[in-house]
Amino acid sequence: MPITVTEDTAERMARLQTIIEDLLQEARRQGASAAEASVGSSSGLEVAVRLGEVETVEHIRDNGLGITVYFGHCKGSSSTSDLSSAAVRDAVQAACAIARHTQEDHCAHLPDPELMATEVPELDLYHPWLIEVEEAAALAMTCEDAARAYDPRIVNSEGASLSTQFSIHVAGNSHGFIGGYPTTRYSLDCAVIGQQGEMMQRDSWWTTARCAQDLEPAQQVGERAAERAVARLGARRLVTREAPVLFRADVATGLLRSLMSAISGSSIYRRSSFLLDHLGQRIFPEFVRIHEEPHLPRGLASAPFDGDGVATRAKDLIADGILQTYLLSVYSGCRLGLPTTGNAGGVRNLRINMGDKDRAGMLRELGTGLMVTELMGHGVNTVTGDYSRGASGFWVENGEIQYPVEEITIAGNLKTMFARLVAVGNDCDFPGSTRTGSWLIERMTIAGE
């Protein structure tokens, strides 16, 4: 069950709502025809340990306010981290000064009033955890100790850290919309180093959740980090070849992020996407469905409204392999002559329908080829779709892992890779707002020796 918002939290939300109301009134007073603003306040704790000792303890408190004003279709924006009345007035004044000197843009305007989020649904995003520094340090140490004790080949540690974050976000505009909600987020991570002979390998694991009770146990996080590091020892290089490639589930999220970048409204109206003019076309095999769930309870990216204040909604981005929609804000939609999709600020809780094969089943489906477990570099060109990344992972034969590999490059083109997607596993075992199993691509170039 969601935890009731505390009196202190309610008071902070009321104060932030008052700031938004005052800010919008000040914008009108200074002659703006319309205005929108958002304000956030966050606090938290981060405790890092290494080799059994506390390294850092950091208490975090942060504020931020952004204001955009419109004089007709002329737009100006400013921001500040100072929430005092004088600073808010100065921010409005600065935004108005900018708007008076900018060129008119017919797409610079607020959303239509009927698109605003008139209600804030209960998304179960707020679960305060009153943890003391000593308890946080003890959990981080338990995590690191488990990693260091997992295998004698674990010879060093980059440490473990526990972080907590409590935030309140409030937004409003001159349509009369004001909405806000509190959120919590917690994470625990660990990274260790294994050694075998002269070879050393590093790897890590992490857990993150809205509610502390949903975090993986500290010992399990540490053991998972150590297991991953040890598995990489004894890595070899491969001879250049073409072969099937299996992107492990946590790595496959990068392919989804590349897709999101390619269908973002800004990429489309700038004509800088390899999926330009592909709306309504098949870009994946027919079995693929990719969708957004912005109202997922406890979702790490759940939100009742987007960056424009437009109500978010669940929708298919890919259905039966066909591109159903671009990701549009009010501005990018206007530039394309399309309505907003409620995606100002990006996609929220991305999901792909998973198949019926677990990790072992996906390895059997791969047969002989490469399983990628880490990618390096930024070799993704969203204009052309060309894809070239440094990689490491495991060479697989007859569905069985043979040995780890490193210092290789995998290359292809995203459009071709999407079309050659053979299967999606049900082996999603990592935290995050993007949920997918492993992806098996029919064939890619693997460059090595």
Mean pLDDT in order along the chain per 10 residues (449 residues): 57 92 94 95 96 96 95 96 92 96 95 91 94 97 98 97 96 93 97 95 97 97 98 95 97 97 97 96 98 97 96 97 98 97 96 96 97 93 96 97 96 97 95 96 94
Q: What are phi and psi of 135, to 5 degrees?
A: -70, -40
DSSP 8-state symbol, 213: G
Pairwise CA distance, residues 98 & 70, whole Å: 10
pLDDT (0 to 100) of residue 1: 30
Q: Check residue 8 and give its pLDDT.
A: 83
Structure letter (DSSP) for residue 294: T
Report all structural domains of the chain as residue ranges with CATH numbers, in order of start: 7-231 (3.30.2290.10), 235-449 (no CATH)
Q: What is the pLDDT of residue 119?
A: 83
User: Token pair 């992806």 is at which residue?
Assistant: 439
| Cα pseudo-dihedral 193, 197, 199, 202, rounded to 10 | -10
Give Cβ neighbours of residue 63 (< 8 Å, ≥ 6 apart): 39, 40, 41, 42, 81, 82, 83
